[in-house]
Structure 1
Amino acid sequence: MCGTLLLAPEGINGTIAAHPAEMDKMIEFLDEKLGVRTAETACELKFSHATKQPFNRFKVRPKKELITLRKPEANPHERVGTYVEPKDWNDLINDPDVILVDTRNDYETKVGIFDGAIDPDMKIFTEFPEWVEKNLNPDKDKKVAMFCTGGIRCEKASSYMLAHGFENVYHLKGGILQYLEEIPQEESKWKGDCFVFDQRVGVGHGLKEGDWSVCHACREPLSPEDRQHEDFEDGISCHHCKSGLTAEREKALRDRQRFYKGKYSSR
């Protein structure tokens, strides 16, 4: 079993990978301890498949916030936007009066995004309040719809916006992953794959693994075309970071690459 679980006063979030029997035992344990399947405290459990182990280890991390925003008024337990089921999402975002906002980070949006969505180009989620202040107006922007990977960030974003005067705020229930799982590709408004925080890197419709990797130097997602670029060297650099790679950093990366090649080739 491998993966990450985040525990905070506001709830639990994470991704676990295991064989089916082990997964059943873990869910039973989490339900017993945290009520992940109990009606009053149930979590949205999503299942998908990986062709290889997507994490290197298993870890549990206690946090003050599941998704760091540092805005106490953003409390989904007190206020939250309108949840929109995946089957109703297309109708909502087809409304010309709806402003569609991606609440994910910039490296995630490079892998895929909803057609017509605004990309705030954020490095981290804590930049969201400033972006809202500069780009949206509750008196003019009457309807705002938001989405994220699994539904937690946009849930928190909706709470923040309601606290700051926005009235008609919507977010995709279950996030992009739920949408890709439920909506047939021929009906989909999604373009590309969805970035995920494990070694699969990206998944597409039906939650099928895409053909993405991550640069070990700068952690940017790389498409097959990116890996053909002259600046790409596996484990060392890509076209995003090659120009800024110092000699010291390159040496450290090459040492690490030799270590891992030796470690796994000896198995």
Structure 2
Amino acid sequence: MTILHNKISNKELKERLAAETEPRTTLSFYKYFNISAPQQFRDDLYKKFEELKVFGRIYIATEGINAQISLPTANLEAFKTILYQAAPELDGIRLNYAIADDRQSFWVLRMKVRDKIVADGIDDPTFDPSDVGHYLKAEEVNEMLGKEDTIFVDMRNHYEYEVGHFKDALEVPSATFREQLPMAVDMLKEDKDKNIVMYCTGGIRCEKASAFMKHKGFENVYHIEGGIIEYTRKAKEQNLPIEFIGKNFVFDERMGERITDDILSTCPQCGEACDRHTNCKNKACHRLFIQCSNCAERFEGCCSQSCAEELHLPDEKIKVLIRERAADPTFFTKRRG
């Protein structure tokens, strides 16, 4: 019987990846379309992708598929054939290739069936996610930037925006996409006559956001085709000025792709210019934050002095702290010193 999920420890999987010598390609893709039997769709793809040594994170729902993956470059064409044949809607789907790829993005294949491929909090049967805004290509993006009648809206989380964004883009200050959608509508309610350009990392969030804005009565709605990743790639290919500044945060082990040399954020522990994200080494915290190399050494990779002290507690006490904090939904929003 074929095992349709991983049973090997992360430690061993990382060691296997480190021992690989063949080049890998990191890419992402998504598509909103109806999948009537998502579990069967998932299982069929899992077996085929596993044979091709595909690693990464893939979410499948009745509304479509969302994937960030890595695979041996030699298997890329075989992968495309399998993907394009999986459903008519996936034939020729755009693949967003990583801008900076060090092979270390993923080390295991995780495919999950979810209620939605992007958690949006929308509970309105009249909402049509396929009624999206106008796509913008790289050259068109640059043409619209800086126009008085145009507002660029960043539909990513705060920790993504703080290390990189389009110049003068509006930040929607929220930790989740589901909170951002109604917030964006409220923030832009006096600007319905303007061009609203929405963007995100690879296109999946801003595409749904553009549909939501249209649903709420906005008419001149646009979104960047393929998000920041595709914009940057096309701008480089066409020798266009790159108007995105800083680093593009990505949801894998790299935690970011350098777009320009601009450093937009600072280390919260010392104030030094820094845009290096890391997770707190304290297992009872694991908070995502920015930290420079000096503070990483000073605080042992922790986000605060208290976490550095907890780092050396016995495992039993750490487990107790994890349970206590899991029951407190406000813990990770509190400022700790």
The TM-score, its normalising length taken from structure 2, stands at: 0.64
Q: Deviation per CA, 1:205-229: give whole Å up to 9, x if none.
A: 49xxxx8442245442536xx2323
Q: Give the equivalent residue in structure 2 for 1:245.
A: 307
Structure 2's unaligned 5+ residue stretches are 1-53, 261-274, 320-337
Divergent runs of 4+, >4 A: 138-141, 246-250
Percentage of pairs with the same residue: 31
Structure 1's unaligned 5+ residue stretches are 257-267
- Give secondary structure in 1 for the equivalent of 2:65: strand
In the alignment, does 2:68 pair up with 1:11?
Answer: no
Q: Call closer, same or farther: CA 1:89–1:243 in 2, change over 3 Å.
A: same
Whose Rg is larger? 2
Q: Call closer, same or farther: CA 1:118–1:250 in 2, change over 3 Å.
A: farther
Write out aligned runs for 1:95-244 (5 A): 95-137=147-189, 140-184=192-236, 187-205=241-259, 212-216=276-280, 217-222=285-290, 226-229=292-295, 232-234=299-301, 237-238=302-303, 242=304
**Contact conserved, 2:104 with 2:254, CA < 8 A, in 1?**
no
**Contact conserved, 1:138 with 1:167, CA < 8 A, in 2?**
no
Task: Give, in whole Å, the separation in 1 of the partners of 2:182 and 2:209.
Answer: 12
> May I ask how many residue pairs the two structures share in their alignment?
242
Q: Deviation per CA, 1:81-138: give whole Å up to 9, x if none.
A: 1111112101112211111110001111122100000111210101113312431216
Q: Deviation per CA, 1:138-174: give whole Å up to 9, x if none.
A: 6655221110001110110111111111111111011
**Contact conserved, 1:17 with 1:23, CA < 8 A, in 2?**
no
Task: Give, in whole Å, the separation in 2 of the partners of 1:87 and 1:36.
Answer: 27
Q: Call closer, same or farther: CA 1:144–1:55 in 2, change over 3 Å.
A: same
**Contact conserved, 2:61 with 2:117, CA < 8 A, in 1?**
yes
Task: Give, in whole Å, the separation in 2 of the partners of 1:170 and 1:148.
Answer: 12
Task: Give, in whole Å, the separation in 1 of the partners of 2:78 and 2:205.
Answer: 28
Q: Which has the higher contact order (CA 8 A, sep 6+)?
A: 1
